[in-house]
A and B are shown apart, each in its own frame.
Chain A
Amino acid sequence: MDPNHTISASATSGSDFGGSVFDHVVQAPEDPILGVTVAYNKDPSPVKLNLGVGAYRTEEGKPLVLNVVRRAEQLLVNDRSRVKEYLPIVGLAEFNKLSAKLMFGADSPAIQVKRVTTVQCLSGTGSLRVGAEFLARHHHQRTIYIPQPTWGNHGKIFTLAGLSVKTYRYYDPATRGLNFQGLLEDLSLAPSGAIVLLHACAHNPTGVDPTLQQWEQIRQLIRLKGLLPFFDSAYQGFASGSLDADAQSVRMFVADGGECLAAQSYAKNMGLYGERVGALSIVCKTADVASRVESQVKLVIRPMFSNPPIHGASIVAIILKNRDMYNEWTVELKAMADRIISMRQQLFDALRARGTPGDWNHILKQIGMFTFTGLNTAQVAFMTKEYHVYMTSDGRISMAGLSSKTVPHLADAIHAAVTRAI
């Protein structure tokens, strides 16, 4: 060390010989959805209501861990033969097989001929991201069409994966239902090979789903135009209460022999939110293609997280492969779906009872975790300020956050917002 080049103790490294190399980094804006909970937590009001983030709550307003999940947990912790070795890159084999059967049907011909590759990923987000990265590298058409509106994170996932994002019309504010004509028009203008994001059921944020007839027309159009469907299935079983009914849309697209992708999440339907359990399935034309595709998907995963987390997938595998536990799960799942459906009815009735102006039938017609109320940002802000009701500014409310006790307060808030605020 040259004594003439002493460096003072307080100097820091950085390309300018002082200061951080990340000095210019500015604070990112708060996530719009998660920011709602942040604001809610700060509010001291005893009547505050959190209808922001889509996590299920009981009648008592508490998070719920399914009994069958608790049982699976106990089995895991009591089994001393279980180890924590790395899973293969594609995850827990048993979990993958069972997830594919759940999604595509136990006797799906596509599974039987091995033209489906299923890899474990980090919940729905992770499955979408890995699938999108694969497509950005190996699909000749790098544009994805997403519905308007859609879950706030979709656009970012696809953009960061290297796809270019366009939208197709979906929600009709006038009817608070599906803009079916607009959807068909926009998709028929998409170039051949373009990817189309479809919510398998319980569209987030609107709760508006196509009917089966409409799904069939969508399928025909997509196949006619040579578009590639990418399903986001985050609510299977949670929407109608039936696992098979909620998978109909996806299964239609597999039954016609074509190709598609499906991102599956166990966050809501098994209440495994924070465990990050999900699966990406790529349905290919042939088994040979599926095998090569899987090998390439592994190259996406390895530099991202090497291999997926073991705990949540182990819980799912135990439940899905054990007949009693599977049945118990379907019962608990239906109970959650039924409670939400009953909240819809109660809210609708409460608004009718107050004579709240407007047509509120959409509350009953929409399906799944969320209701797109149709309230505007000013009305939402009013409800937050005056009634301590927290929701996203697009007017989306999480029905799972409601209970019989809190429905009257919400109905009061909506009534006030609609009759007073502009």
Chain B
Amino acid sequence: MAFRTGISRRMMIRSGFGLRSMSSWWGSVEPAAKDPILGVTEAFLADPSPDKVNVGVGAYRDDNGKPVVLECVREAERRIAGKLNMEYLPMGGSVNMVEETLKLAYGENSEFIKDKRIAAVQALSGTGACRLFADFQKRFRPDSQIYIPVPTWANHHNIWRDAQVPQRTFHYYHPETKGLDFASLMDDVKNAPNGSFFLLHACAHNPTGVDPSEEQWKEISYQFKVKGHFAFFDMAYQGFASGDPERDAKSIKIFLEDGHLIGIAQSYAKNMGLYGQRVGCLSLLCEDEKQAVAVKSQLQQIARPMYSNPPVQGALIVSTILGDPELKKLWLKEVKVMADRIIGMRTALRENLEKLGSPLSWEHITNQIGMFCYSGLTPEQVDRMTNEFHIYMTRNGRISMAGITTGNVSYLANAIHEVSKSA
């Protein structure tokens, strides 16, 4: 390619232009560590074994192990295609989608929605909602920290770290009982300085599947009031956990009834199967409408230099479904099918293990709820699962129930039994 400029290429080379920077600016950039969760799927795909099972990543699969696009989503897309004009959404996203989303979390007839007390913006799924909140927290409560449960979804740590909000942890999972370490959790809540910020999983805790009972939530809420703590709920599995969205939002309802001004990150990745569309919502309950307007405007100021405004099509799918009674009914049915299949697989896995005569207790498989089961397998046992049985899971022993089918559940049970029977 010759430039029609006054400067010949030969002259360029002679004067050293283009050759002056001999080395890269980024020659010393270290290769980053691979994402632990996504690396599991990569390894699974590379395995040629016909028996291989992927219980790593948390995306729903049907009983044939196939990804699912909900019928209500397909129908919504059919209605939208050809009609959408693709103009920019406002910085706060689709107003319709946000309105419908708030109803799911705060209640269909929520007084807070009527009184316009909720500052809410469309976000890039759950990750984006958490990140907006973390950045907002840093900007407006710069001296605050975030208390994060142990364990939690690994990316939570990344999000608040990148937002430069210091992190502390609180006890959550009890390895011995494979349930909730309620006593230590409450101790941590009591010992945290007054007015601390806590990250709570609204339902279907990721990665353990261990949720507080209703009574326990009430006690947590009470103690939060005593201490004046702020509760931020990450709700990524509403409807997906029990099959009933209202039931899955119980923890939030309890806190609202107790008068807390909470924050919520909502995601449609799992419960509407919209994973790659990146649809979610961040909301903050405020004292009054004026404050909600102010807070929303500030959230938009954080979104604008990050991505300007959120993607339109996924939001339109959500508002089409939730705004149409027939489609909404269909969605609720389909969500229950997914939740029921997972609950069915929990039962089947536990029964298989008990039938094999395992000396260990597998109660926790059916006690835990949602996409994941914290099996209790050690990293070494997990390695054996992979190396001997071609079963892929994260090394913390987390099993994605969605990857289990009637076709592979006995194979999986057998493998777990083999690696754990002499534990």
Which residue of chain A has its CB nearest to the CB of B159? A303
Q: B69 contacts which chain A residues (CB < 8 A)? A: 82-84
3 nearest interchain CB pairs?
A: A15-B195, A256-B18, A285-B24
User: Which of A73-98 touch B at CB < 8 Å?
Assistant: 73-74, 76-77, 80, 82-89
Interface string of A33-76 (1 = CB under 8 A from B): 01000000000000000000101000000010100011001101
**Smallest CB–CB gap between B32 and chain A, Å?**
4
* A276: contacting residue among B158, B195, B219, B311, CB under 8 A: B311
Asked if residues A291 and B31 are in contact (CB atoms below 8 Å), the reply is yes
User: Which residues in B have some Cβ–Cβ distance to A below 8 Å?
Assistant: 1, 3-7, 12, 15, 17-21, 23-27, 29-32, 35, 38, 59, 67-69, 73-74, 77-78, 81-82, 84-91, 124-125, 127-128, 131, 140-141, 155, 158-159, 161-163, 194-195, 197, 219, 222, 224-226, 228-231, 258-261, 269, 273-278, 284, 286-287, 291, 293-295, 297-298, 300-301, 304-314
Minimum distance in angstroms from B97 CB to a CB of chain A: 12
Residue contacts A-B, CB under 8 angstroms, 23 given: A7-B225, A13-B224, A17-B194, A19-B287, A21-B261, A73-B84, A85-B275, A126-B306, A129-B305, A212-B3, A220-B7, A223-B21, A267-B88, A274-B87, A276-B307, A285-B25, A296-B29, A302-B155, A302-B158, A304-B124, A307-B276, A309-B313, A312-B313
Q: Which residues of chain B are within 8 angstroms of A226 by Cβ–Cβ distance? A: 20-21
| Known A1-B219, A153-B305, A213-B5: A20·B291 in contact at CB below 8 Å | yes
Among A24-32, A338-346, A359-367, the one that faces the other chain is: A24-32
Q: Which residues of A contact B158 (CB under 8 A)?
A: 299, 302-303
Complex: A25 Cα to B137 Cα, angstroms: 11
B120 to chain A, nearest CB (A): 14
* A289→B26 contact, CB < 8 A: yes
Residue of A nearest to B86 (CB): A274
A216 in the interface, Cβ–Cβ < 8 Å?
A: yes
Query: Which residue on B lies nearest to A70, using beta carbons?
Result: B82
Residue from A7, A23, A251 in contact with B226 in the complex, judged by beta carbons closer than 8 Å: A7
B291 touches A273 (CB 8 A): no
Are the C-beta atoms of B277 and A89 separated by less than 8 Å?
no
For A273, what are the chain B residues with a Cβ–Cβ distance below 8 Å? Answer: 86-88
Contacting residues of chain A (118-152) with chain B, CB-CB under 8 angstroms = 122-123, 125-126, 129, 138-140
Whether A271 is near chain B, meaning CB under 8 Å from some CB there, is: yes
Alpha-carbon distance between A31 and B88 when the two chains are bound, in angstroms:
14
Contact check: which of B194, B276, B295 meets A87 at CB < 8 Å? B276
Within 8 A of B (CB), among A318-369: none
Given A256-B17, A305-B131, the answer on whether A65 and B30 have CB atoms closer than 8 Å is no
Which of chain A's residues 140-175 have a Cβ closer than 8 Å to chain B? 140, 153, 156-157, 159-160
Apart from A27-B294, A80-B74, A304-B124, what are 18 other A-B pairs with CB-CB below 8 Å?
Answer: A9-B258, A12-B260, A16-B228, A21-B261, A84-B275, A85-B67, A129-B306, A153-B308, A226-B20, A257-B18, A273-B88, A295-B31, A296-B31, A296-B32, A299-B32, A302-B158, A306-B155, A309-B311
Determine how close the nearest CB of chain B comes to the CB of A274; give it in whole angstroms. 4
Contacts of A309 in B (CB 8 A): 124, 276-278, 311, 313-314
Question: In the complex, are the beta carbons of B141 and A274 less than 8 A apart?
Answer: no
Report A3 CB to chain B, min CB distance, Å: 12
* Residue on B nearest A223 in the bound complex, by CB: B17
A122: which of B194, B291, B295, B307 is its contact (CB, 8 Å)? B307
Contact A17 B228 (CB under 8 A): yes
- Residue of chain A at shortest CB distance from B162: A303
The reply to whether A12 and B311 contact each other, CB–CB distance below 8 Å, is no
- Contact between chains at B82 and A74 (CB < 8 Å): yes
Whether B260 pairs with A13 at a CB distance below 8 angstroms is yes
Which residues of the other chain, B, contact A228 by a CB distance below 8 angstroms?
A: 25
**Closest residue to B124 on the A side, CB-wise?**
A305
A412 lies within 8 A of chain B by Cβ: no
Whether A84 contacts B308 in the complex (CB less than 8 A), given A1-B219, A12-B260, comes out as no
